[in-house]
Structure 1
Amino acid sequence: MKQKFIPRGVMAVRAEAAPSQAELKQTIEALNKAFADFKTEHQQQLDEVKKGNHDALQALKVERINSDIGSLQKTVDELNMRMASAQMGGATTGNSPKDPEYTSAFQAHMRKGEVQASMNKGAAEEGGYLTPVEWDRTITDRLREESPMRQLARVQPTSKAGWKKLFNLGGTGSGWVGETDARPETATPTLAELGFGHGEIYANPAATQQILDDGEINIESWLASEVEAEFAEQEGIAFISGDGAKKPAGILTYVEGGANAAKHPFGAIKVVNSGAAAAITADATLDLVYSLPKKFRQNARFLTNNLSLAAIRKLKDGQGNYLWQPSAQAGQPATLHGYGIAEDENMPDIAANSLPLMFGDFRRGYLIIDRMGIRVLRDPYTKKPYVLFYTTKRVGGGVQNPECLRAMKVGTGE
């Protein structure tokens, strides 16, 4: 019987070069200039509207600058991420694999279908071979860069397919007694169990055998990039709106009125109305912040999509100050009411009864379950002359504490 073994690792993967401070500074300066232009042009647009005039060209100019701001802010965020990755040792420190025997065998199998003795280390009962650990980490790192939820939430590796957690609902009794009074038994706390939805995500890229034989592509980097793109897209959707059936349970499904609103022992994620039938108001964004208990606000962030953020940039406080502020220096994100903002295009757009904006401590609020190990099954038969690489990974997720999160619902609540 072949022994199941998770390989110690492998192949070094080149990281993008870290950006220079000058490059980041230049981008931030361009962002701040664009925001200054935006404020000037937007105010001019508002002044004309007050006079009863509607200048379509002026409105178009404002939207163009708003779009430029979004692009520049995204560039700043990416540069900050690359700098942080380099500082944490994300760049390659060497080209020699830690486990050259397994890595060499894995590459030979992926290219030519050869099965060497050393491949037994990666064999598993359910078929396919475990990818080298370093390659596995590479995909996970790239998923972290692609998926805002992976950056915000807590990620729990596990060797099992599922994950359950116990919650203390309280109920412990107590009482006052005198020095010599009896101490009768008190009530005990109630515990509740919560499981997290999980499923298997897959990608099935193909390459011709001739390309593999000629070595025209780096099979490892090509396969990793193909898998990363597919996994990131599917995960991103599930973490936000997944129904929990053979996939993670999305964070929005735990909001009051959602499919999983009654699932958590602590209740549903509470909502704050936007203050308008089909828009978000400045007062409502502040209400959203202060609806969250103070103990959860320290590490809280906003989560929305790009279109909603474009509308939020136009909001002002009672003194005429814009609520959204761009990055002021390296390492700082754009802010709303002083809290960072994360963009996820899987969040809904602003529309009646939608949930376009969330706020909270996502690391304490949402849990992603990663079944350790990515498996690859080489299939040269199904689609000749192509060789398919059926790649799978088990992923789960769900809300672990709804009290840490708040959602904004578009509407007046009437």
Structure 2
Amino acid sequence: MSKILELRSKRNTLWEQTKAFLEQHRRENGLVAADAVEQYNKMAQEVKDLGAEIERLEQQAEFDAKLSAPTSNPVHGNPKNGSPKDKNTSPTGTEEYKNAFWDMIRNRGNYGEVRNALSVGVDTEGGYTVPDEFEKKLVEALEENNIFRSMANVIRTSSGTRKIPIAEDTGEASWIDEGEEIPESDTTFGQTMLSAYKLGTMIKVSNELLNDSAFDLATYIARRFGVRMGNAEEKAFITGDGVGKPLGILDDAGAKVGVTAGTQTKLTFDEIFQLYYALKAPYRKKAEFLCNEAVVLQLMTLKDNNGNYIWKPGLEIGKPDTLLNRPLKTSAFMPAVAAGNKVLAFGDYSYYWIADRQSRTFRRLNELYARTDQVGFLSTQRVDGKLILPEAVQVLQMKGSASSGS
């Protein structure tokens, strides 16, 4: 923890030095001397790199805390009082199911017995629903590799589609005279639907590794699948077109374009300021900025009309960097600065709904890689996502190319 505080302090000091360097080399016309730009970029990049290292250490500290947590609860009652041995009401959360599942993965024990224990978790497509403990690890891995899940509203559904009612207006009240009839003003409702698109991935593991009792197979598989599925999900949640995958916030049917930049390559304070106020006030209470890391380098140079930098590094543990005093998050799947690209989003992402259909499933493939003494593992899940209120997120789009007519 002290190392994280030390790096945050170092990062803040370096940022102050970077700002001072920029001002020292700013000419009377407001532009920075060309020979100083390269040095500034190096200093700014170091600030960014320190931020990435701080984030990595914080995730590591959180993971260490989880590993250090007790794995069981102390017994407070009389163990002879006839209480059930396993109070977990989930069929896939029992110790029997978990042991049978991992015996199946390692291909141990009597297959008939394993099959019987796993019958509560058989998937319709021939795989097995992962046990609750493994499901939790996989969900944690997805969240670590998918910042959007922590920002969005995640629901679970057991059906293929989920209908979400939406109030399209709130009606209105009217001033009336004494004895006058109160006019009707009904609220109108629409609805949007969340489907269940299939996402899958496969890995190979050697039999030697499978049978190594010292190797934490569950965590290894969860991490690998989590990274792959987390990346695929986040890309779809941001840029997906809704065809065979979720509809991303940057799709034309998603977030609204609040501001169009005056150039194809540069952002200005006025444009960021306009984007901030393009979002209605109620949404600004929980709103966050979202862009890729390359855009951050431009944002770090921008000042408000009083000469203050609008980007500020997070100084406290767990606190993100801010832009106009609102949290600034980064994703590799946000577009880079280029003609026509939507490079900066600002909004309340809890109005982006992610629907997970039932549990993730898992399948062992024995014969596919038998010649190389390896075993394949296939994991699938069904998920959809959609911004149910497009006005809750506004984006800044760069000026289009001349050929596009923008």
TM-score normalized by the length of structure 2: 0.84
Q: Secondary structure at the match of 2:305?
A: coil
Distance apart, 1:54 and its partner CA: 2.6
Among candidates 54, 69, 76, match of residue 47 of structure 2: 69
2:354 is the alignment partner of 1:368: yes
Structure 1 position 280, deviation (Å): 0.7
Deviations 1:48-105 (A, max 9, x none): 98689531xx322211211111121223334455666778x67532179973221111
The alpha-carbon deviation at position 129 of structure 1 amounts to 0.8
The answer to whether 1:108 aligns with 2:85 is no
After alignment, is 205-214 or 152-161 more displaced? 205-214
Among 370, 378, 389, the alignment partner of 1:390 is: 378
What per-residue deviation string (whole Å, max 9, x for no partner) do you get for residues 369-397 of structure 1? 11231111111112223211111111110
CA distance in 2, matches of 1:52, 1:405: 34
Q: Residue 330 in 1 paired to residue 330 in 2?
A: no
| Map of 1:131 onto structure 2 | 130
- Please provide the CA RMSD for this pair: 2.9
Distance 1:83 1:213 in 2: 30
Tell me the amino acid that sits aligned with residue 156 of structure 2: P
Q: Contact 2:258 / 2:279 at 8 angstroms: preserved in 1?
A: no
Q: For structure 1, which segment, 89-98 or 165-174, has the greater mean C-alpha deviation from structure 2 after superposition?
A: 89-98
2:26 to 24, 46, 64: 46
**Matched residue, 2:293:** 306
CA distance, structure 2, for counterparts of residue 52 and residue 26 of structure 1:
31
1:194-222 CA-to-partner distances (Å, cap 9, x unmatched) read 11354111111111234323446332122
Q: Secondary structure at the match of 1:160?
A: coil
* Match in the other structure for 1:60: 38
Report the alpha carbon displacement of residue 187 of structure 1 after superposing the two structures with TM.
6.1
- Alpha carbons of 1:174 and 1:287: their partners in 2 closer, same or farther (altered >3 Å)? closer
The question of whether the paired residues in 1 share the 8 Å contact of 2:123 and 2:361 is answered with no
CA deviation profile, 1:1-60 (whole Å, cap 9, x unmatched) = xxxxxxxxxxxxxxxxxxx2x1221011111122022112323443398689531xx322
Amino acid at match of 1:376: F
Please tell me whether residue 231 in structure 1 is matched to residue 229 in structure 2.
yes
Identity of aligned residues (%): 25
Once residues 326 and 172 of structure 1 are traced to their aligned partners in structure 2, the CA distance between those partners, rounded to angstroms, is 43
Structure 1 residue matching 2:318: 3-state secondary structure: coil
Q: What is the CA–CA distance in structure 2 between the aligned matches of 1:318 and 1:182, rounded to whole Å?
A: 52
In the alignment of these two chains, the number of paired residues is 378
In the superposition, the TM-score normalised over structure 1's length comes to 0.82
The one-letter amino acid paired with 1:109 is: M
Paired position in structure 1 for 2:15: 35
SS at match of 2:382: strand
Letter of the 1:248 counterpart: P
CA contact (8 A) 1:198 1:246 kept: no
Q: Does the CA contact (< 8 Å) of 1:197 and 1:249 recur in 2?
A: no
- Is the contact between residue 201 and residue 393 of structure 1 (CA under 8 Å) also seen in structure 2? yes
SS, match of residue 252 in structure 1:
coil
Structure 1 residues 381 and 52: alpha-carbon distance in aligned structure 2, compared to 1, 3 A threshold: closer
Match of 2:198 in 1: 200
Q: Does 1:403 align with 2:391?
A: yes
In structure 2, the CA distance between the partners of 1:25 and 1:214, relative to structure 1 (3 Å rule), is: closer
Query: Structure 1 regions of 5+ residues with no counterpart?
Result: 1-19, 262-267
Moved more, 94-103 or 227-236: 94-103
